[in-house]
Amino acid sequence: MDPEIQDAVRRALAEDIGSGDITTNLCVPADALATGRMVARESLTVAGVELLPLIFTDCIVALTRHSGDRVENGDEIAVVQGWARALLTGERVALNFVQRLSGIATLAAAYVRAVEGTRCRILDTRKTTPGLRRLEKLAAAAGGVVNHRMGLFDAVLIKNNHITAAGGVRAALERTRNAGVPMEIEVRTREELDEALACGATHLLLDNLPPTEAKDWILHINRRATVELSGGITLETARAFAETGADFLSSGAITHSARAVDINFRLELD
């Protein structure tokens, strides 16, 4: 497991447990054994269940489903067996992770279904919860989207403010040409578009264009570059944007606006 993910789980447990679970330690005998069953309360795409062994460290964890699996209301996702105190103390952190990450995966899968049958693929963005980006991007991938850059370090993405600060499209492209990582540039006007193509840009970002205008730009590009569309793309409008001929659609909503799905943790004394 990635150290960054392990650290996120440690921090979440420390935040919740602090000096100890007062209620559980007072109410529940130390030698009581129990089984906890994590059950879906709605249709969803699972993500984050692989964290359960990190949360319930002294318990036996059996994953009934794995990240990327589609489940229906009433389906069992995981079974945890061990000391009742351990199950009760870890319950909320486990649900917080799995509900949140499964929510992202579920929304991601809905976007993927929305563009099914087109050549377009869905991208996530860097609009993630601070400190949880790796987990949230794993959840998005579990839903079937393509992970965009992880951060500022693994790809060049020249946005409009970079173009302004660099002194223009040509200057920005020339200074990043030998970066050795994937490179993409946002263009705001047809003049910038033609300049970027003339400079050899191979991946273009078109932002905040309505589908009809985006289609016109993509016809003009004529496969001379890969095209990503972004800006205000919702689940309801994704199909229209995909049918413009774009290669990718990116949506920050997949990570920043996904709701936590309904999952229950049912405890039974052994």
Are the CB atoms for 268 and 37 separated by under 8 Å? yes
pLDDT tens digit sequence for 67-103 = 999 999 999 999 999 999 999 999 999 999 999 999 9
153-174 pLDDT, tens per residue?
999 999 999 999 999 999 999 9
Considering the segment(s) 3-112+258-269 as one domain, its CATH architecture is Alpha-Beta Complex (3.90)
Can 207 be counted among the known catalytic residues?
A: yes
- Give the span between the Cα atoms of 110 and 235, in whole angstroms: 7
Query: Which residue in the list 134, 159, 175, 188 is annotated as catalytic?
Result: 159
Which listed residue (16, 70, 76, 92) is catalytic?
A: 92
3-class state of residue 45 by DSSP:
strand
Its pTM stands at 0.95
| 222 Ramachandran zone, left/alpha/beta (phi>0; psi -120 to 50) | left
Which residue of the set 70, 113, 126, 127 is catalytic? 127
Query: What span, in angstroms and rounded, lies between the C-alpha atoms of 79 and 38?
Result: 6
In terms of Cα–Cα distance, which of 139, 14, 22 is closest to 85?
22
What gap in Å lies between CA 132 and CA 9, rounded to an integer? 10
C-alpha–C-alpha distance, residues 44 and 47, integer Å: 9
Domain locations along the chain: 3-112+258-269, 117-256
Tell me if residue 159 is catalytic.
Answer: yes
- 191-224 confidence digits (pLDDT tens): 999 999 999 999 999 999 999 999 999 999 999 9
Q: Is 186 a catalytic residue?
A: yes
Determine the pLDDT at residue 1. 79
**Contact predicate 235/110, CB 8 Å:** yes
User: pLDDT grade, residue 270 (50/70/90)?
Assistant: confident
Report the C-alpha gap between 47 and 136 in whole angstroms: 9
Active-site option among 195, 207, 243, 262: 207
Q: Does residue 44 register a pLDDT over 90?
A: yes
Predicted confidence (pLDDT) at residue 7 exceeds the cutoff of 90: yes
pLDDT in tens, 223-253: 999 999 999 899 999 999 999 999 999 999 9
Do the Cβ atoms of 190 and 217 come closer than 8 Å?
Answer: yes
Task: From the candidates 50, 124, 136, 186, give the one annotated as an active-site residue.
Answer: 186
Structure tokens given for 163: 């173009």
223: left (phi > 0), else alpha (psi -120 to 50), else beta?
left
* CATH number, domain 117-256, options 3.20.20.70, 3.40.718.10, 1.10.10.10, 3.40.50.10540: 3.20.20.70
* Average per-residue pLDDT for the chain: 97
